[in-house]
Structure 1
Amino acid sequence: MDYLVSVVEHLDAETGTGPREIKYGVLHLQAAAEVLLKSRLLREHWSLVFSDPAKATSEKFAASDFNSCGTDAAVERLRNICGLDISKKDAAALKDLGKDRNALQHYGLTHSAEAVESRAGAVLDFLLRFLDAELLPLLDETERDSIKDDMTRVRSGLHSINGFVTERMNRLRANELKGTTDSLLPCSVCGQWALAVIPNGAHCHFCTTDVSAEELAAAFQEFDPGHPANECPQCCASTMACFAFMDGPGDEWFYCFTCQARYKPDELAGCTGCGRLWPHGREGEGTTQTLCDDCRRRIEDEELASRW
């Protein structure tokens, strides 16, 4: 709880969050996450906090003479052994926090302060929910009373961080993002729906991150294997993916991050020659055979050659 109090003090938007405040806010948030996750593992069994539970001994545990598991392993054990429901979103937020912590400790601030604070707010929100559901009910009344004031301070701090995010997003929606909801995506860096697609990539108006078309296509392949990047029929770049923009939930488009060409899913079909996605025409209720330009030219050349 002392770590969490330190986090909200360092990330208090009202007192200002410079590079030093961001650094120690993230370092202490990572420490808090590790301690709280492992505290829940300890409630299950002390051996689960060892990096290798098979080598755990009560003597080493009593002497604190062992290597403990990392955050990723703790999340996996809480899910698989303790049966806790930790969402993919929360697990990803914890993983991003670990990356931010390592970058800040060794290289300094590698993302904008706005991005780091937004990501930290997501983890802090998870940890408070985790405390409420998995740790506070296991404490006795005296223990709960001893951290009551700290919990109040931390909840107030989360409200301040979320207030900063809300205020910034409201300003952006009234200005830079006005009328752009049909071209907005969630930013992989700060998590806000402020990533506006532009030719050859996208720009996040919340954390000022610029993402190339290739990086976006790779991200969609990594996070949504069912919708891999495809070659665009218009510019031939392999940066076209299928997804839904902010405007119109559930309405998916095939969109090229390079040239901004977009197609409704029923406007494309696999080329019967090579399988590449290609616009197809319709005749009555049926659909004509779909051939891309390359396959059409190849067939025409083969037919011409056969006549000679």
Structure 2
Amino acid sequence: MDFPPIRNGIDYLVSVVEHLDSDTCTGPREIKYAVLHLQAAAEVLLKSRLLREHWSLVFSDPAKATSEKFWASDFTSCGTDAAVERLRNICGLNITRKDAEALKNLGKDRNALQHYGLTHSAEAVESRAGTVLDFLLRFLDTQLLPLLDTQERESIEEDMSRVRSGLNTIDAFVNERMNRLRGNELKGATDSVLPCSVCGQWALAVIPNGAHCHFCGTDVSAEELAPAFQEFEPGHPVNECPQCCAPTLACFAFMDGAGEEVYYCFTCQARYNPQELTNCGGCGCLWPHEGDDDGTPQTLCGDCRRGIEEEELASR
């Protein structure tokens, strides 16, 4: 057997596209091996680039690296997240946040599959796999293949062709499905559609008390959605909704033409423009701006106003 690192990584990629081949039955077993082999490919190829920089960089702790342990393969290697960080900070590679997130999500899928069971749909796995495959092919083209000699490149040429063809098939599947959804389920709904955290597609349509992804079928509760979009925009914390009082009001931009941010409640679907809300003068929560025309010097939420009224009654 002769599987040097780069050829080994490409062989894993061939297995991925074979298991996601739309002409065959993409069942639980195919999904399982697609995820496992894609994660294996990512680890092998990222570390192959680290090896080209210096062999000590593949150790989990480079400070404890020794050549004896390296040549004997007697060491614990770094994980994917650490490999990405080192490629950025030491090798100076431009790995985007989107690509890094795709690799991180793949690692979570692999761990869930190994230890807890993976429940994503075939559509979600194929979409996520396509994102990582696209990154790894670009990574191979720019960072690894140029380093191979002619004989090495010729030895992997056929496999690379199979992987590129497989990615084209996945992209075609995703594009066809999204185009169908835009003409049907998502038609005219651009002001209520969000990116799905499972499949990555802009197909998560908000509904009362949550959202449903028309691409991969994922259902998400309001309680899960609000913190997720708080993470997307850390400057806009989740608040209680002035209308239903649920702590599921977040500020973000839907997939509309202008991309303008709105405050949206994932529970009752109340929607506010940012200029409509201001901080309550009592507790600081967000509340529709009242102005001074009602005799109050500042905006007060319902709870604070009731508190003041009760205090006034008690003092009489």
Partners of 1:299 and 1:234 in 2: how far apart?
20
Q: Secondary structure at the match of 1:211?
A: strand
How many aligned residue pairs are there? Answer: 305
What is the CA distance between 1:140 and its match in structure 2?
2.4
1:185 to 179, 183, 194: 194
- Judging changes above 3 Å, is the alpha-carbon distance between structure 1 residues 46 and 249 closer, same or farther for their aligned structure 2 residues? farther
Partner of 1:203: 212
How far did 1:249 drift?
Answer: 4.0
- Partners of 1:249 and 1:35 lie apart in 2 by 42
**Percent same amino acid at aligned positions?**
82
TM superposition shift of 1:305? 4.2
**Contact 2:51–2:58 at 8 Å: present in 1 too?**
yes
Counterpart in the other structure of 2:106 = 97
- Report if the CA contact (8 A) 2:233-2:251 is conserved: no
Write the distance in 2 (CA, Å) between the matches of 1:288 and 1:142: 80
Q: Determine the structure 2 residue equivalent to 1:221.
A: 230
Q: What one-letter code is carried by the residue in structure 1 that aligns with 2:235?
A: G
Alignment of 1:5-84 (within 5 A): 5-84=14-93
Match of 2:5 in 1: none
Question: Of residues 242, 258, 278 in structure 1, which corresponds to 2:287?
Answer: 278
Residue type at the aligned position of 1:244: A
Superposition deviation, residue 304 in structure 1? 4.2
User: Which residue in the other structure is 1:113 paired with?
Assistant: 122
Query: Structure 2, unaligned stretches of length 5 or more?
Result: 1-9
- How much has 1:289 moved relative to structure 2? 2.4
| Alpha-carbon offset, residue 229 of structure 1 | 0.7
**1:262 Cα deviation (Å)?**
0.4
1:95 to partner: Cα distance? 1.3
SS in 1 for 2:246: coil
Query: Which amino acid is 2:271 matched to?
Result: R
**CA-to-partner distance for each residue in 1:91-124, whole Å, 9 max, x for gaps?**
1111111122223334444111111111111110
Q: Which amino acid aligns with 2:40?
A: A
Distance 1:161 1:35 in 2: 22
> Which is further off, 252-261 or 70-79?
70-79
- Taking the aligned partners of 1:190 and 1:249, their CA distance within structure 2 comes to 24
For 1:51, give the aligned amino acid.
S
Residue 48 of structure 2 aligns with an amino acid whose one-letter code is S
The equivalences for 1:154-169 within 5 A come to 154-169=163-178
Flag the 1:249–1:133 CA change in 2: closer, same or farther, 3 A: farther
Distance 2:38 2:98 in 1: 17
- Partner SS state of residue 147, structure 1: helix
Secondary structure of 2:202's counterpart equals coil
Counterpart-to-counterpart distance in 2, 1:249 and 1:61: 54
Distance in 1 between the 2:115 and 2:79 partners? 18
| Pair 1:146–1:237, CA change in 2 (3 A) | same
Q: TM-score, normalised by structure 2?
A: 0.92
Aligned twin of 2:3: none
The alpha carbon displacement at 1:282 in A equals 5.0
The TM-score normalised by the length of structure 1 is 0.94
Q: Would the aligned equivalents of 1:196 and 1:203 in 2 still touch at CA under 8 Å?
A: yes
- Asked if structure 2 preserves the Cα contact closer than 8 Å seen for 1:23 and 1:108, the reply is no
Residue type at the aligned position of 2:260: D
Is the contact between residue 291 and residue 298 of structure 2 (CA under 8 Å) also seen in structure 1?
no
Counterpart of 1:156 in structure 2: which amino acid?
S
Partner of 2:4: none
Structure 1 gap segments, 5+ residues each: none
Q: Is the 8 A contact 1:100 1:116 kept in 2?
A: no
What does residue 94 of structure 2 align with?
85
Equivalent AA in structure 2 for residue 164 of structure 1: F
Contact 2:292 2:298 in 1 (8 A): no
Name the amino acid aligned to 2:222. Answer: A
